[in-house]
Amino acid sequence: MEDFLEIMTELLEGFGNTIALFAVTLLLALPLGLVLAFGSMSKFKPLKCFVKILVWVIRGTPLMLQILLVSFLPSVFGVATKDIASALGLTVADTLFFFVALAFVINYACYFSEIYRAGIEAIPVGQYEAGKVLGLSKRQIFSKIVFMQVVRRILPPMSNEIITLVKDTSLAQVLGVLDLLNAAKAMVNKFVVLTPFLYAAVFYLLFSGLLTILFGWLEKKLSYYKV
Amino acid sequence: MAFLEVKEITKKFGETSVLKGVSFEMEQGEVVSVIGSSGNGKTTLLRCLNFLETPDGGSITVGGTTVFPTEKAKEKKETNGLNFGMVFQSFHLFPQYTAIENITLAMDVQAKERIKRQGLKLLERKAALKQAKAQNEETAKTLLARVGLENKMNNYPCELSGGQQQRVAIARALALSPDILCFDEPTSALDPELTGEVLKVIKGLRDEGRTMIIVTHEMQFARNVSDKIIFMADGVIEEIGTPSQIFDDPQSEKTRAFFAKASE
C-alpha cells in the first residue's frame, strides 16, 4: 500500500509536468500558429519564403531532434545550461523544461499554421467581398466574419493534433524532464513491477478522453449553422 | 452633371480585355438594367463600381465627387461604403449570423467607429454604443419587414430558402443606405418559383425611388422595371436606351442577334 501511494505521488507529479507542458504549448502555439499562417499566405515574398522553409524544416525533422538541438545549442556557444538557469533565475530542471517547451511551441505552431491556412483558404471569397462592399476593413472582415468560420472548419483537425500533443509530451524525457512517462519508468525501475506503466496509460487515456469529449461538445456547439 | 458618371472604364485580366472603355450616366432615382450574353463584362462593370476590382483606367463620379481614381487608397475605402451597395448572385450571407445580425453587423461596426472618434469616456462610450445598437436593430427590423421577412429575423441563413436569403441580402445592402444599389444577377441562383419574390422586392424599391443598377437575364423584368437599358457586348456598351427603344427597335446588329437567340 505504501508502495502504491509512493508510485501514485510520483506519477501525479509527473502528470502535473505533462499537463503544464501541454498547456504552455497550446497557449503559445495556437496564436503563434495563426501568425505563421498569415506569414505563409503573405504577399511579401521573403516572409512567405521564410515561413514556408521553417514549416518544411520543422515538419520534416523529428520533434525529439528539435528538443535535443534546442538544449545543446547554447553549449555550442560555450554557454552551459546552469548558466542559463542562473541568468533566468530558474532551477536547472525548470530550464530544461523551458527548452522542451520552446521546441514544442515552435513545432506545434508550424503544424497549427498549416491547419489554420487550410481553414482560411477554404472560406469562400464571396464572404470577403460581401464584407468589403459593406465597407468593412480587412481586419474587421477577418475578425467579424471569417475567424469564427475558420474555427469551426478546423476544429476536427485541430482536436486531432491536440490529442497527439498529449502523447508527444512524453518526448520531454529526453532531457530528463520528469513527465508522466518518465515518472512511470522511474517507478518501474524502483519497484520492479510493470503496473506504473499501466497507471500511466490510464492517465493518458483519461486525459485524451476528456479532450475528446470537450472537442465533441465544442463541435456540436458550433454546428448551429451550416457552412 | 449627371448623378453617376462612368467614363471610359477599362479593365484587363491578364491579356484579356474585359472592359474596353465603358461610359454611361444615370440620374438619381433611375433604374438601369444591364443585359447581354455572359462573359461580356456586365459583372466586371458592377464589380468595378463596387471596388471589388480596380479599373485600369477611366473615372467614376457620384454626385459630383470623383470616387475613382482617388489619390489615397483610404479615401477610396471611406467613400465606397456610402456610394454603392451590392447584392450578389449567390447572396454571400454570413452563415454564423442570424438574418437580423447579418443586417446589423456593418451598421454596428460603423457605429462603433463613429463613437470611438468622439473621444468619450469609457462608460459614456458603452452607453452610446448600446443605444446605437438598439437603434440599428430597429432599422434592421424595418428593413426585414420591408422585404417581408420580419418573422425570420432570428433564423440562420441555412434555415432560409434561396429567395428568402436573397431578400435578407437586399435588406443587408440597404442597411448602409447606399446612393446606388447594384444587383449582380440577383435571381440567377434561384429556382424559378423563387425568382418572383425577389423581383417583387426590387420592383418595390423602384417604386420608392431607389437608384439601382441591375445586371440581369430576366428580360421581361428588365423591361418592366427599368428607365434605361444598357446592352453590353464584347466589353463595350453596344446600345443604350429606353426599354422600348432597346427591346422593340434595337439599332445594333449585335442587339438584334442577342434577342433572336434569347427568344429561341
Per the structure block, which three cell numbers stand in for A47? 516572409
Q: Name beta bridge partners: B65.
A: B62
Q: How confident is the model at residue B82 (pLDDT cuts 50, 70, 90)?
A: low
- Per the domain annotation, does A227 fall within a domain? no
Give a yes or no: residue A138 inside a domain. yes
Q: What are phi and psi of A40, to 5 degrees?
A: -75, -15
Tens digits of residue pLDDT in A131-159: 999 989 999 999 999 999 999 999 999 99
Lowest mean pLDDT: which of A74-83, B102-111, B181-190, B243-252? Answer: A74-83
- Contacts of residue A131 in chain B, CB cutoff 8 Å? 106
Residue A24 maps to a domain? yes
- The answer to whether the Cβ–Cβ distance between A140 and B109 falls below 8 Å is yes
The residue of chain B with its CA nearest to that of A135 is: B81
- Is the pLDDT reported for residue B226 higher than 70? yes
Are B96 and A124 a contacting pair at CB < 8 A?
no
Q: What is the pLDDT of residues B90-121, one digit of tens each?
A: 999 999 999 999 999 999 999 998 898 888 88
Judged by average pLDDT, the poorest of A146-160, B68-82, B168-182, B216-230 is B68-82
Within a domain: A102 = yes
Number of domains in chain A: 1
Can you tell me the ipTM of this complex?
0.91
CB contact under 8 A, B109 and A225: no
The CATH number assigned to the domain holding A102 equals 1.10.3720.10
Q: Is residue A69 part of a domain?
A: yes
The beta-strand segments (E) located in A40-165 are: none
Q: Which helix (H) or strand (E) holds B9?
A: strand B4-13
- Residue B113 C-alpha cell reads as 467607429
Domains of chain B, earliest start first = 4-93+179-262 (3.40.50.300)
Q: Above 60 in pLDDT, residue B76?
A: no
- Domain assignment present for residue A169? The answer is yes
Q: Check if A151 contacts B (Cβ < 8 Å).
A: no
What are the pLDDT digits (tens) for B49-63?
998 999 999 999 998
Tell whether the torsion through CA atoms of A172, A176, A180 and A181 is positive or negative: positive
Share of chain A above pLDDT 70, in %: 99
pLDDT, residue A37, reads 97
Q: Name the pLDDT band for A23 (thresholds 50, 70, 90).
A: very high
In a domain, A42, yes or no: yes
Residue A65: domain span = 16-173
Domain contains A161: yes
Mean pLDDT over each residue of chain A, to the nearest integer: 94
Q: What is the mean pLDDT of residues A114-135?
A: 95
- Assess contact for B95 and B156: CB atoms under 8 A: yes
- Asked if residue B80 has pLDDT above 50, the reply is no
Cα angle: A150, vertex A51, A167; to 5 degrees: 65
Pairing between β-strand B65-68 and β-strand B57-62 as defined by DSSP bridges: antiparallel
A170-220: pLDDT as tens digits:
999 999 899 999 999 999 999 999 999 999 999 999 999 999 999 999 999
Is it the case that residue B73 has pLDDT exceeding 60?
A: no
